[in-house]
């Protein structure tokens, strides 16, 4: 995946699949979140730590500890990362902030471009 300067994701999951991620170029800021439960108003999360991953760094996400956000902290340098998943991920949930530590769950359909 390529990440433009300042580009990032909202909190999201990997649809219950494990994942291994590595940084090929640049730097990524990865924040893990602890899922605290779902209420009528939304899903509750608490930030559980942030790492700054540079070239050659690798990590894994194993359900149920898969909730995270990724961001390229650079103002001028793109980043490139490699992601390997348990299987084909056709959808995932993203969590949009509402207020305090509550987030609205949205399901996103996913796709990819095949190499020619």
- Residue by residue, pLDDT tens for the chain (116 residues) are 999 999 999 999 999 999 999 999 999 999 999 999 998 899 999 999 999 999 999 999 999 899 999 999 999 999 999 999 999 989 999 999 998 889 999 999 988 777 66
Using CA atoms, how far residue 68 sits from 76, 77, 115, in Å, is 23, 22, 28
| pLDDT number for residue 30 | 96
Q: How far apart are CA 81 and CA 77, in angstroms?
A: 13
| pLDDT number for residue 92 | 94
Helix, coil or strand: residue 109: strand
Indicate the pTM of the whole model: 0.88
| pLDDT number for residue 57 | 95
| pLDDT number for residue 100 | 84
Domains contained in the chain, CATH given: 2-107 (2.60.120.10)
| pLDDT number for residue 49 | 94
| pLDDT number for residue 50 | 96
3-state secondary structure 27-69: EEEEEEEEEEEECCCCEEEEEEEEEEEECCCEEEEECCECCEE
Q: How far apart are CA 94 and CA 87, in angstroms?
A: 19
For residue 46, cis peptide bond before it (omega within 30 degrees of 0): no
């Amino acid at each position: 995946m390529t990440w433009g300067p300042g580009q990032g994701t909202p909190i999201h999951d990997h649809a219950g699949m494990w994942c291994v991620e590595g940084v090929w170029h640049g730097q990524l800021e990865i924040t893990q979140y602890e899922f605290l439960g779902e209420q009528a108003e939304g899903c509750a999360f608490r930030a559980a730590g942030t790492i700054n991953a540079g070239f050659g760094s690798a990590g894994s996400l194993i359900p149920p500890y898969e909730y995270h956000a990724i961001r390229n902290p650079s103002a001028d340098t793109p980043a490139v990362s490699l992601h390997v998943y348990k299987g084909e991920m056709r959808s995932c949930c993203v969590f949009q902030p509402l207020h305090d530590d509550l987030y609205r769950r949205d399901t996103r359909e996913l796709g990819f471009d095949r190499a020619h």
